[in-house]
C-alpha cells in the first residue's frame, strides 16, 4: 500500500510524542522506557476512552470485562463482549438533606477521554473509566441547603445489593458479581471529608457525607469494579507466581477442589529453581494468601529447573479416590506425578508426546475408569492427544476441537456428570468457555462467558455435589 509522505511524518511525530522524558533521581537519569513500552501504554490508555457508537456513547473496560453506556439519567453496564446483555444500570435517584431532598432528573452529557459527565443544576455526576474500574462520582459546587448530613441515593437496577463494612456487593440478574466501594470525599482544600455507605433497600445504597465545615466545592468518589474471589501472591520477588494455574481436584477427599499455581522462578535457597503450590478449597472457595499459606509446595531443588512453568492437577492417578498433583516438563516432555500430599520424589515418571513444541498438558478420566491420566494439546493444529494409561505410547484418543491457537487455554472436566472427563477450551480474549461432552470433533455442547476477559480459568467440583 502506498502511504503519503506527509501522513508518515504525522504518524512519526505523534508516536514520538508518546515517549515520556526519563526521570531523574539523585542526579542520575533513570533508564528511559522503550519506544514500544511507551507506545503500548498510550494505546492501552486510549482503549478506556468513551466513544460514540450506533448504540450510544460507550466505554469498554478490558481489565474489568465491562462495557458502560452513558445516558442522561446514569450509566448502563454490560459485559464487554455481550452486546445487549444488561448487567445493571446505575441511577442516582435523589440527593440533598433530610426534608430537602432533590429528585434527580436527566442531565446533559459531556465527555472527554475516559471521563463522562452528566451535568444537572447544583450537581455534576461523572464517570471515569480505567483499568481499576468505573469511578462514579459527584462534584457539588455549593453547599446544598438544610441541616444534617448530605446524602446521595443510588439504585442498581435489576440487581441485589448488600452493604457490609462500607462496601456494596452487587449480584446482577445474570449472577455476575460487582463491587461498589472505596468511597472517598475531599473538599476544595484537599481535606478528606468523613463519609460512609449504607444500605437503602434491596437494590439501593446511600452515600452519607458529613460535610460540616467542608470548603465547597466537594468531590464524592466511589468506585465500581468486578468482584475478585481470591488473590494469591508471592512474597519472593520476581518468582512469577501465577505463570501457570490448574485445578487440582479434590486432593484430600473433603469434597472440595483445590488449585495448583506455578512459580517458575521461585527461589528456595537456589537460583530460579521454580516450584508449584497447592492451595486448598473450601465451602467459601480458595482463601487468599501467598506461598506460605499453601497446603503443599513441590520443587525441583535444582537451579534453573523452572518446574512451575506448566502445572496440571494430576487428578486421581492411582484410583484411590484422592486427587493429587503433578508437574509437566515441556523441555523434555516428561510427566512427574505424585500420589501423596507432600514433598518427595515422583511416584510416576514417563514421557508422552513431543518435547519442546509448546504442547500443553491436561489431565482427566478420559474413559470413565475412575483413574485420571494425562493428555496433550497441540495449539498449532488444534488437536488433543489423550492417554488412558500411565506409560509412554501412542495416544488412545485423538480429536480436534476449537480453533488452533496459542492464545486459548485448555481445560478438562466432567461437564455433564457422566463420569467421563472431556475437554473445554477457554478463550481469554472474550472470557468464554466452550465445553464438549464427547471425545469427537463438533460444535461445543455448552458455551458461556464468566468473569473478566483475560482471567486465569480453573476447573473443579466447587460445591462437592
Q: Is residue 36 part of a domain?
A: no
The reply to whether 239 and 180 lie within a common domain is no
The reply to whether 194 and 250 lie within a common domain is no
Q: Is residue 39 part of a domain?
A: no
The reply to whether 202 and 311 lie within a common domain is no
The rounded distance, in Å, linking the Cα atoms of 289 and 296 is 13
- Residue 129: in which H helix or E strand, if any? strand 123-130
CATH of the domain at 304: 2.130.10.130
Q: Which residues pair with 232 in a beta bridge?
A: 289
The reply to whether 212 and 243 lie within a common domain is no
Q: Is residue 269 part of a domain?
A: yes
Looking at 226, 259, 275, which one is the last position of a domain? 226
Range of the domain at 244: 232-449
The reply to whether 193 and 84 lie within a common domain is yes
Q: Is residue 15 part of a domain?
A: no
Smallest CA-to-CA distance from 207 within 96, 120, 123 is with: 96
Q: What are phi and psi of 39, to 5 degrees?
A: -65, -40
Q: Is residue 91 part of a domain?
A: yes
Number of domains in the chain: 2
Looking at 204, 226, 248, which one is the last position of a domain? 226
The reply to whether 73 and 201 lie within a common domain is yes
Q: Is residue 100 part of a domain?
A: yes
The rounded distance, in Å, linking the Cα atoms of 43 and 62 is 13
The reply to whether 424 and 323 lie within a common domain is yes
The rounded distance, in Å, linking the Cα atoms of 82 and 455 is 17
The reply to whether 161 and 240 lie within a common domain is no
Looking at 201, 226, 251, which one is the last position of a domain? 226
pTM of the model: 0.52
Q: Is residue 133 part of a domain?
A: yes
Q: Is residue 260 part of a domain?
A: yes
The reply to whether 148 and 257 lie within a common domain is no
Residue 394 has which C-alpha cell? 501412542
pLDDT per residue rounded down to tens, the chain (465 residues) = 433 333 333 333 333 333 334 444 444 444 455 544 454 455 566 889 999 999 999 999 988 989 999 999 999 999 988 888 899 999 999 999 999 999 999 999 999 999 999 999 999 999 999 999 999 999 999 999 999 999 999 999 999 999 999 999 999 988 889 999 999 999 999 999 999 999 999 999 999 999 999 999 999 999 999 987 677 778 888 888 877 777 665 655 666 667 778 887 888 777 877 887 888 777 666 676 787 878 777 766 667 766 666 665 555 555 666 677 777 878 778 888 877 766 667 788 888 988 888 788 888 889 888 888 888 988 888 889 999 988 888 999 998 888 876 678 888 888 988 889 998 888 888 888 999 999 888 888 999 888 887 777 878 777 666
The reply to whether 187 and 296 lie within a common domain is no
The reply to whether 159 and 241 lie within a common domain is no
- For the CA atoms of the chain, what is the radius of gyration? 26
The reply to whether 204 and 261 lie within a common domain is no
Amino acid at each position: 500500500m502506498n502511504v503519503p509522505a506527509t501522513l508518515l511524518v504525522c504518524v512519526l511525530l505523534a508516536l514520538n510524542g508518546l515517549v515520556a522524558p526519563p526521570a531523574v533521581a539523585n542526579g542520575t537519569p533513570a533508564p528511559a522506557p522503550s519506544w514500544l513500552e511507551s507506545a503500548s501504554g498510550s494505546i492501552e490508555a486510549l482503549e478506556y476512552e468513551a466513544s460514540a457508537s450506533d448504540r450510544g456513547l460507550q466505554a469498554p473496560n478490558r481489565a474489568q470485562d465491562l462495557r458502560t453506556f452513558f445516558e442522561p439519567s446514569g450509566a448502563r453496564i454490560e459485559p464487554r463482549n455481550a452486546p445487549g446483555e444488561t448487567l445493571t444500570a446505575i441511577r442516582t435517584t435523589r440527593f440533598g438533606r433530610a426534608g430537602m431532598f432533590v429528585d434527580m432528573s436527566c442531565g446533559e452529557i459531556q465527555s472527554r477521554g475516559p471521563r463522562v459527565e452528566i451535568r444537572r443544576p447544583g450537581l455534576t455526576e461523572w464517570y471515569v473509566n480505567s483499568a481499576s474500574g468505573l469511578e462514579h462520582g459527584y462534584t457539588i459546587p455549593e453547599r446544598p441547603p438544610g441541616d444534617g448530613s448530605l446524602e446521595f441515593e443510588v439504585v442498581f437496577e435489576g440487581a441485589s445489593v448488600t452493604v457490609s463494612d462500607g462496601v456494596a456487593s452487587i449480584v446482577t440478574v445474570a449472577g455476575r458479581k460487582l463491587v461498589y466501594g472505596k468511597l472517598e470525599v475531599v473538599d476544595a482544600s484537599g481535606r478528606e471529608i468523613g463519609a460512609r455507605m449504607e444500605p437503602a433497600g434491596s437494590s439501593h445504597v446511600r452515600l452519607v457525607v458529613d460535610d460540616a465545615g467542608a470548603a465547597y466545592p466537594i468531590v464524592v468518589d466511589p468506585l465500581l469494579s468486578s468482584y475478585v474471589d481470591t488473590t494469591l501472591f508471592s512474597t519472593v520477588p520476581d518468582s512469577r507466581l501465577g505463570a501457570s494455574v490448574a485445578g487440582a481436584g479434590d486432593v484430600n477427599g473433603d469434597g472440595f477442589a483445590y488449585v495448583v499455581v506455578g512459580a517458575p522462578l521461585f527461589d528456595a535457597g537456589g537460583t530460579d529453581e521454580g516450584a508449584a503450590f497447592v492451595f486448598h478449597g473450601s465451602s467459601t472457595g480458595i482463601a487468599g494468601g501467598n506461598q506460605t499459606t499453601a497446603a503443599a509446595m513441590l520443587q525441583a531443588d535444582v537451579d534453573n529447573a523452572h518446574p512451575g512453568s506448566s502445572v496440571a492437577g494430576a487428578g486421581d492417578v492411582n484410583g484411590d479416590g484422592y486427587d493429587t498433583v503433578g508437574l509437566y516438563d515441556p523441555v523434555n516432555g516428561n510427566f512427574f506425578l505424585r500420589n501423596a500430599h507432600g514433598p518427595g520424589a515422583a511416584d510416576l515418571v514417563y514421557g508422552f508426546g513431543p518435547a519442546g513444541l509448546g504442547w500443553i498438558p491436561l489431565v482427566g478420566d478420559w474413559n470413565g475408569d475412575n483413574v485420571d491420566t494425562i493428555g496433550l494439546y497441540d495449539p498449532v493444529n488444534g488437536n488433543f492427544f489423550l492417554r488412558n494409561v500411565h506409560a509412554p505410547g501412542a495416544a488412545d484418543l485423538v480429536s480436534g476441537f476449537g480453533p488452533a491457537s496459542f492464545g486459548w487455554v485448555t481445560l478438562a472436566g466432567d461437564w455433564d456428570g457422566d463420569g467421563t472427563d472431556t475437554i473445554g477450551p477457554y478463550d481469554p480474549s472474550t472470557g468464554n468457555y466452550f465445553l464438549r461432552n464427547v471425545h469427537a470433533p463438533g460444535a461445543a455442547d455448552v458455551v458461556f462467558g464468566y468473569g473478566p476477559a483475560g482471567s486465569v480459568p480453573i476447573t473443579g467440583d466447587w460445591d462437592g455435589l
